Amino acid sequence: MKLLLNKTTYLVLTLLIFSCNTSKKEKTKISDAETVKEEHLYSIDTTGVSVLWTAYKFTDKLGVSGQFDNFKFSGPNKASSIEALLKQAKIAIQTASVNSNLEIRDTKLVASFFKVFNTDTIEGTVVEAGQGKGVFSLKMNTMRNPLNYTYSFKNDTIIMSAKIDLKIWKGDEAMQSLNKVCYDLHTGTDGISKLWPDVAVQIKLPVNTK
């Protein structure tokens, strides 16, 4: 009987020790996985950055889309999170490189809008980034104002989206100038020529992960 008790006690102790060791190993594995996740480094492939825009005409707000071909993007070389990668990132866009896939329209945009708007270069700096949203400091028409934006990270690409109200940057004169030279092209079926003050902007940033 005493021998049986000793064997039983030994078996219980063995199981307890094995269980503890297994638990420690599992915790170690989880801890190692968390460490690997924290050690990921992100960097932006500046050669693949794109700047897209959509302006609107007609009373029923038809979108006209395009992009800017020449710009300079700069920011942290590497960061441990997407948020850290965005903070203090800067972009300088050459407005003469506007590309709407129609040369005659691009010429009018440069001469009748951006020149009147006193904006050869659009300058933007990220001042806040977190939880899918943030704030740009955006300079146009010799004035700098905050611009709210949202962002997502999908398929190794950060997509930043914002809506610009040109009136905040005193863009009325430039809008009237452009609408004058494009009067017929901005006239809808209701006979009204209209150019909207809001412009949707999207910046796509390809990301490398290590």
- The span from the CA of 112 to the CA of 97, in Å, is 14
Quickly state the pLDDT bin for 122 (edges 50, 70, 90): very high
- Answer for the pair 41, 207: CB distance below 8 angstroms, yes or no: no
How confident is the model over 47-89, as pLDDT tens digits? 999 999 999 999 999 999 999 999 999 999 899 999 999 998 9
DSSP secondary-structure letter at 69? Answer: S
Whether residue 9 is predicted with pLDDT greater than 60 in this model: the reply is no
What's the predicted TM-score (pTM) here? 0.80
The number of angstroms, rounded, from the C-alpha of 72 to the middle of its chain's C-alpha atoms is 15
Whether residue 5 is predicted with pLDDT greater than 70 in this model: the reply is no
Alpha helices in the chain (DSSP H): 2-38, 82-86, 103-108, 172-181
Side chain identity, residue 139: K
3-state secondary structure of 182: coil
State the sign of the Cα–Cα–Cα–Cα dihedral 160, 164, 168, 173: positive
- The span from the CA of 156 to the CA of 207, in Å, is 5
Count other C-beta atoms under 10 Å from residue 25's C-beta. Answer: 10
Write out the E strands in 141-192: 143-154, 157-165
